[in-house]
Amino acid sequence: MKKPALISMMAVLALVPTSTLGGQNADPAQYHNSTSQKKSTKPASILGKVGSDCKTFTADKDSKIWKVNNPEALSGIEGRHVKVKAHVDAAQNQIQIVSVHEITEEQTGVRLHDAAFRR
C-alpha cells in the first residue's frame, strides 16, 4: 500500500520544480523587443554618398541604401561623399544622423615633393 503513495508523491514533487522553472524562463522573453536589439545605441561611422534628395544614404562598404530619418542634417551636401556618425536601425534600413564630415577628394598626379623625386 505504501509503494503507490510513495510513487505518486515523488511524481508530484518531480513535476513542481520543472513547471516553476518553465514560467521563470518565459517571463523575460516577453519584455524584450526584437527591434530594440537591432537598433544601435552607439553611433556607427559609415562612409558613403548622400542622395540627391538628402533622404537616402548609400554606404561605400556594401552599397546598401539607408533611409535617413533626419534629412535636414544632410542639407547642402547633396550628392557628395561623406563620413557620417549615425544610429543604425538595421531592421528598418534607417539611420539617424548624429554628425557629418565631408571627405575631400585628394588630387592624383605627380607631386614633386614626394620622396621619389628627392635626391
In the chain, where the domains are located? 37-102
Cα separation, 63 vs 65, whole angstroms: 6
> pLDDT value at position 30?
47
Q: Residue 99's closest CA among 114, 82, 112?
A: 82
Element (H, E) at 102: strand 94-102
Summarised one tens digit per residue, pLDDT across range 97-110 is: 999 999 887 656 66
Relative to beta strand 94-102, strand 65-68 is parallel
> pLDDT value at position 37?
47
Q: Which superfamily does CATH assign the domain made up of 37-102 to?
A: Nucleic acid-binding proteins (2.40.50.140)
Q: Residue 49's closest CA among 73, 70, 79, 22?
A: 79
